[in-house]
Amino acid sequence: TEFNTDISGWSYLFSVDVNGFIETVDHMSVFAATTPVKKKRGRPPKQQVPEEGEGPEDAEAEAAKKARRALNRFNGMTVEEVMSRTLPDVIGHNLDILIIGINPGLLSAYKGHHYPNPGNHFWKCLFLSGLTDQQLNYTHDQDLPQKYGIGFTNMVERTTPGSKDLSNKEIREGGKQLLDKLQRYQPRIAAFNGKGIYEIFCKETFGIKAKNLEFGLQPYKIPQTETVCYLMPSSSPRCAQFPRAQDKVHFYIKLKELRDQMKDQVQSADVVETQYSFDLQLAKGTGHMTTNRTPVGSSLHTLKTLFMSVCNNNHPVRRSWNSQGTIRN
């Protein structure tokens, strides 16, 4: 016969024989039995699926599952169908900045827009740097040339799941096509979105194997143009050196400063300063000299003819005219 009793927090199990003698006594702490076990922090280990349970049917089911996910991602289109698409350039003449990528990804080709991946930092950095005055997204890429002077192109036109799927031959050929494009449209700045793109372009275009490249303005111009090259980190979230948007925005700010500086230089060069003199008494005798803007020819002879009656070497006065032939006081 066995019976159990609790004494002072301990549980005793008695075993009694037929004669009434206690044979064994087992005891344990009631408190020990009820004390909670402290759990370890962190995620529980994943359950390993035994490999021997996998068979051809399981592999086929997994492949079918992946295919369904791909179809859902591209609204019923297969990856092969998406790869057959191309992404049109957003480009034109008189651009301030031309953004250059390596080649279209699947989502870009499917959407038909540049940098549509929500994890990509491009559009966020564009706004944080002041290159755009509001937060835009990929659906606005067609508006940027006219509103902000920014365009888009890629070195290689073919769509692939990743840039590693491109062959060296088509990358080199793409570099030649990019050079032709830059010479035709001649933007102020060719901005390379990623170091790898510029390394290849630099070797193919300038015959120089770039080493220890630094981000920012590069020392080379596009041949037969005044287009300068600017290198910035890849806007992809997979960029190991600059994984966050706030790590990259500095280079977009510098890009904006370079653009503003180049535009100011062009505007200043449009106005040419000159110096001439006139006889103040003679001017007073004929009334007064008008300060309205007067159209003149571009030749020096026209200017001499206009002021022939008042010119001498005694009283210098500064005037200027712009390239359209308009006097500016």
Residue 103 annotated among the catalytic residues of the structure:
yes
- Cβ 303 vs Cβ 296: under 8 Å: yes
Residue 30 token pair: 């009631």
Among residues 4, 19, 27, 114, the one annotated as catalytic is: 114
Measured distance CA(280)–CA(319) in Å, rounded: 15
Rg, Å, the chain Cα set = 38
Give dist(CA 255, CA 249) in Å, integer. 10
| Spatial distance between the Cα atoms of 161 and 107, rounded to a whole number of angstroms | 9
In this structure, what token pair is assigned to residue 224? 């037969």
| Contact of 263 with 296, CB cutoff 8 Å | no
Cα end-to-end distance, the chain, whole Å: 122
CA-based nearest residue to 90, from 160, 152, 15, 1? 152
The residue from 19, 75, 103, 120 that is catalytic is: 103
Largest Cα–Cα separation, the chain: 152
- Cα(187)–Cα(297) distance, rounded to whole angstroms? 30
**Within a 10 A sphere around the Cβ of 252, how many other Cβ atoms?**
24
Give catalytic residues, as residue numbers.
Answer: 103, 114
